[in-house]
Amino acid sequence: MNGTHRGLNRALLGVLGLVLVAAGAITILAGTNPAFARRWTTAGADVWAGVQDSLAAAKMPGADISWWSVGVLAALVIVAVLLVCWIASQGTGRSNQLASQDNDTGKTTVDTAVAAHAIKAALTDNTHVLAASVQSWNNKSWNNKSRKNTGAVANSGLKISIQTRKGASPVEVMAAVDHLVEGLDQLLGFRLPVLVRIKAGTRTLFARTERVA
């Protein structure tokens, strides 16, 4: 539901994984096979000698530095900028506005906090639920559909995360959340795209019988 580039992330992780696997395999082989270790050392020395020759043959006029060094430095700067942009793109798309509607008298907006407060308050007395969190994300494809059908714009989709108690029935928890979402849809006048995540963790294992706020 967010703006994270999952395909790019998977590709980068796949390439990194292959590099690490190859490095691990070479390390193991060099540690267990003396002949391979000697060939690897010789090949490394030859490559380094070739690099030094290339650097010496391409020095900048009037400077004790090679054009190759400048090129490598520029490439590293570009890679660093791309990595910063990639990191900044992770998890983007979060929104504080749930929906909006234009009419003759003005514009009405609904903040995500309204839905979050309503859902958390409704689940307060549910004995199966330890905690709940609500987030919203931009959903441009849904905007056009909601505007066409109702005149309103569902600026975001909802993500509802539910922390359940040990032994809680996911079916019952899901039914309770469905009821809340249906009520929210009726209140807004159109259906919202909703992702519900029911999870358990360390807090579930060590939770007391009584509810902890």
177-187 pLDDT, tens digit per residue, is 888 888 888 88
49-73: burial string, b at 16+ Cβ within 10 Å, e else: eeeeeeeeeeeeeeeeebeeeeeee
Tokens of 13: 């992780």
CA distance 6 to 88: 14
User: Per-domain residue ranges for the chain?
Assistant: 6-89, 97-205
Whether this model's pTM surpasses 0.75: no
Q: Which helix (H) or strand (E) holds 164?
A: strand 156-164
* Residue 141 in this model has a pLDDT that exceeds 70: no
Which tens digit of pLDDT belongs to each residue from 66-91?
788 888 889 999 999 988 887 776 66
pLDDT band at 3 (very low <50, low <70, confident <90, very high): low
- The pLDDT, as a whole number, for residue 17 is 92
Query: Which residues contact residue 48 at a Cβ distance below 8 angstroms, ignoring those fewer than 6 apart?
Result: none
Residue 123's pLDDT is what?
Answer: 86
Per residue in 24-42, pLDDT (tens digit) is 998 898 888 888 888 888 8
Which residues share a beta bridge with 133? 161
> By mean pLDDT, which of 6-20, 70-84, 144-158, 161-175 is the weakest?
144-158
Closest CA to 101 of 4, 189, 165: 189
Fold of 97-205: GMP Synthetase; Chain A, domain 3 (3.30.300)
Contact 98, 114 (CB under 8 A): yes
